[in-house]
Chain A
Amino acid sequence: MKSRMSTLLSLIKRDKYLLLMFSPIFLYYVIFMYVPMPGMLLAFRNFMPGQGMFSGEWVGLRWFDQFVNSIYFWRLLRNTFLLAFLPLLFGFSIPILFAVCIVEIKNQAFKRFAQTVTYLPHFISTVVVAGMIINFLSPTDGIVNTLIAKLGMEKVNFMMDAGWFRTIFTSSDIWQSFGFSSIIYIAAIMGIDPEMYDSGKIDGVNKFQELWHLTLPSIKPTIVILLLLSLGGIMSVGFEKVYLLYNGATYETADVLSTYVYRMGIEGQNYGFATAVGLFNSIITFVLVFAANTMTRRLTKMSLW
């Protein structure tokens, strides 16, 4: 016992500067990350405003029960899944395709220009993107409706129509992210051994065959990892964009778990119930990330942890 203490002390003494460096970070993680964790227990308590985070009588699964049996449950679950899954379904292949194009472009100036332009939307704030969408689609002075009217068709009030929300959300998501997502594929393609292409040329393959039989198989590990990673993130639909784009008229297709937690908890001060919904969301996310990670490890022998 005594010798273990003294080895520990000598280790601390040896690494004192590293410990010193890390101590503010340690404090940060404890305060802002670890202290709120037991706050989750609010989901099982009847919290009274004005009291501390760890107060209130225990109510068991009352909030979960209330949530699962509410009329919003399936709607929220469906919307959360769809708004995460649709961008993935329609958007996943586009960055790969775009990366293939960028690598093949010989004109350096055009290549740089195309890359610079397509990365840009990734850096624009969600507020601006949502603002552009709403203003472009405005029924009075939006450019889209102006065009529709010029073509002699009926104007559409896109933002007030629940039927349009998923299309708008998905397509704008793809618009915002495809360029930047392609970077990782571009790097993967550049990392392919050039000798493979040389030997391909000797065998007389054309560019299409080269793409199908050489390039895509070579970047398959990257594709698989990114696909599984995004599957893990499927329940964490961004709060911001939904919050900025939706309104009472489109809740039917737009309201997701995170926006519901915000409305119930922050706006409605219904802390216990909102924490329960949030916890429900985290549990599903955690299961999905875990499953995705296990699958990645099986398939590619690489994993996140």
Chain B
Amino acid sequence: MQKSRSDRLFYGFVYLLTVLAVVVTLYPFLYVISVSFSSVDAIDKQKVALWPVGFTLSGYKMVLQYRELWVSFYNTLWYTVIGTLLNIVATCLAAFPLSRQQFFLRRKLNFFIAFTMYFSGGLIPVYMLITSLGLYNTRWVMVLPVLVITFNVMICRSAFEGIPNEIFESASIDGANELTMLYRLAVPIIKPTLAVLTLYYAVFHWNNFFSALLYLGKQDMQPLQMFLRRVLIMASPEVMQKMGGTMTTGALAVSTLQVRYVSIVVSILPIVTIYPFIQRYFVKGITLGAVKG
């Protein structure tokens, strides 16, 4: 009798804490979304607490007709698609040789890449290298210096190592070379891992702000994150005015809050829509590589 009471208490705690965690993570997003759909008047009187008050799309109309948003959106898309594509190809090309037991340079090359995880030239030498390579203010600066992330190569390598060697041996008897094995056998087998890595790389590119801050001075090449920084952090009056168009100053002051929240919603929408589809691979993909590292 006593046991079941303490167990009930336990489950009470479990559900309480989980509900708390959900509320704490979800509420800020819900609030941002609600403000983005609320009328200027309701925002002005600070009536929005949970749901939109005086539903309107005017905030979206204002933000979505702003050219700079689309330019930066396009740039981010470019960096994300091209960057992720190159990342995945390069990660497979790096990880497969490192996973082949018989490869005579395997240990040396493993060390060669792992070393860079613990030792690097540092910000200034890298910055000087990239400028002297002529990559400053080019699109490739967002893609080439991050061709692979070493930790992800390690995850991919352990996934390849998990494939029984007999499969490769029989393929080799059938006359397949290592390139064919990688492309026809190994890659299809580790698809779940590659799905997770694709997500990681894509999210990295989508959110990459640091490289742009350092290497992209030209505004028409800058990604969404740099645009968001001007809107959200610096609250650049110039941007706000351009977006607000011909509105009166009183209304403008309020709608800037909406402009900011609409921008947040627009920028996180793609990730929020894609990620539930890949989420189911998380636990599998991550535990595969993480601790074994």
Q: Given contacts A53-B132, A98-B17, are A286 and B93 in contact (CB under 8 A)?
A: no
Known: A125-B267, A204-B3. A258 touches B10 (CB 8 A): no
Q: How far apart are the CA atoms of A305 and B3 in the complex, in Å?
A: 46
Is A286 within 8 A of B119, CB to CB? Answer: yes
Partner of B129, one of A11, A36, A119, A178: A36
The stretch of A74-82, A100-108, A248-256 in contact with B is A100-108
Q: How far, in angstroms, from A83 to B286 measured CA to CA in the complex?
A: 27
In the complex the two chains form, what is the Cα distance from A171 to B228 in whole Å? 22
On whether A127 and B225 interact (CB within 8 A), knowing A262-B123, A286-B119, the answer reads yes
Q: Judge if A207 is at the interface, Cβ distance under 8 Å.
A: yes
A37 and B123 within 8 A (CB): no
Q: Mark B2-34, 1 if CB is under 8 A from A, else 0.
A: 010011011101110110011011101101100
* Complex interface residues of chain A between 28 and 56 (CB less than 8 A to chain B): 28-29, 31-40, 42, 52-53
Of A104, A127, A275, most B-chain CB atoms within 10 Å: A127
* Residues 129-161 of B contacting A (Cβ, < 8 Å): 129, 132-133, 144-145, 147-148
What separation, in Å, do the CA atoms of A234 and B176 have in the docked complex? 47
Residues 267-305 of chain A: 1 if any B CB is under 8 Å from the residue's CB, otherwise 0?
A: 000010011001101100010010000000000001011
Q: Are B268 and A40 in contact (CB under 8 A)?
A: no
- Whether B229 pairs with A53 at a CB distance below 8 angstroms is no
Interface stretch, picked from B55-63, B187-195, B238-246, B270-278, is B270-278
Is B165 positioned at the interface, with any CB of A under 8 Å from its CB? no
**Given contacts A21-B93, A127-B209, is CB(A36)–CB(B120) below 8 Å?**
yes
List which A241-266 residues lie within 8 A (CB) of chain B.
Answer: 243-244, 258, 261-262, 265-266
Q: B177 to A17, Cβ gap below 8 A? A: yes
Number of interface residues of A (CB under 8 A): 95
Complex Cα–Cα for A118 and B127 (A): 36
Q: Chain B interface: which of A134-142, A160-168, A192-200?
A: A134-142
Does B264 have its Cβ within 8 Å of any Cβ on chain A? yes
CA–CA, A110 and B133, complex, Å: 52
**Residues from chain A with Cβ under 8 Å of B113 in the complex:** 25, 29
Are the CB atoms of B271 and A11 closer together than 8 Å? no
Check B283 for interface membership: any CB of A closer than 8 A.
yes
> Which A140-198 residues have a C-beta within 8 angstroms of B?
141, 143, 146, 175, 178-179, 183-184, 186-187, 190
Q: A21-B182, A24-B90, A53-B132 are in contact. Are A127 and B118 (CB under 8 A)?
A: no
Is A85 among interface residues, defined by CB-CB distance under 8 A?
no
Assess whether A183 is in contact with B90, with CB atoms less than 8 Å apart.
no
Asked if B90 and A132 make an inter-chain contact with CB atoms under 8 angstroms apart, the answer reads: no
- A18-B100, A206-B6 known; A101 and B124 CB under 8 Å? no
Whether A35 touches B129, Cβ cut-off 8 Å, given contacts A125-B209, A222-B291, is yes
Q: A117: CB under 8 A from chain B? A: yes
Q: Quick check: B103 and A128 within 8 Å, CB to CB? A: no
B contacts with A, residue count (CB < 8 A): 92
Interface residue? A91 (CB, 8 A): no
Most buried by A among B3, B122, B133: B122
Contact with A along B93-108 (1 / 0, CB 8 A): 1101110101111000
Interface residues of B, dominant DSSP:
helix
Q: In the bound complex, how far is the Cα of B42 from the Cα of A146, in angstroms?
A: 14
Whether A121 lies near B6 (C-beta < 8 A) is no
Residues of A within 8 Å of B237, CB to CB, are: none
In the bound complex, residues from chain B placing their C-beta under 8 Å from that of A124 are 207, 268, 271
Partner of B121, one of A40, A104, A225: A40
Give, as a whole number of angstroms, the nearest-CB distance from A14 to chain B.
8
Q: In the complex the two chains form, is A22's CB within 8 Å of B271's CB?
A: no
Contact of B112 among A29, A114, A115 (CB under 8 A): A29
- A127 to B283 alpha-carbon distance, docked (Å): 27
**Is B116 an interface position by the 8 A CB rule?**
yes
Query: B287 and A135: CB pair below 8 A?
Result: no
Chain A hits for B251, CB < 8 A: none
Chain B residues near A37 (CB-CB < 8 A): 119-121, 125
B37 at the interface (CB under 8 A from A): no
A179 with B25, Cβ < 8 A, contacts A36-B120, A125-B206, A282-B122 known: yes
Contact B94 A25 (CB under 8 A): yes
Interface contact B148-A28, CB-CB below 8 Å: yes
B232 proximal to A (CB < 8 A): yes
Q: A125-B225, A125-B228, A244-B229 are in contact. List 4 more A-B contacts (CB 8 A).
A: A32-B147, A127-B232, A204-B3, A208-B9
Please list the 5 inter-chain residue pairs (A to B) with the smallest Cβ-Cβ separation, ordered nearest first.
Answer: A39-B125, A36-B121, A131-B232, A125-B207, A207-B10
Interface residues of A (CB under 8 A from B): 11, 14-15, 17-22, 24-26, 28-29, 31-40, 42, 52-53, 97-98, 100-102, 104-105, 110, 113-121, 123-128, 130-132, 134-136, 141, 143, 146, 175, 178-179, 183-184, 186-187, 190, 204, 206-208, 211, 222, 225, 239-240, 243-244, 258, 261-262, 265-266, 271, 274-275, 278-279, 281-282, 286, 289, 302, 304-305
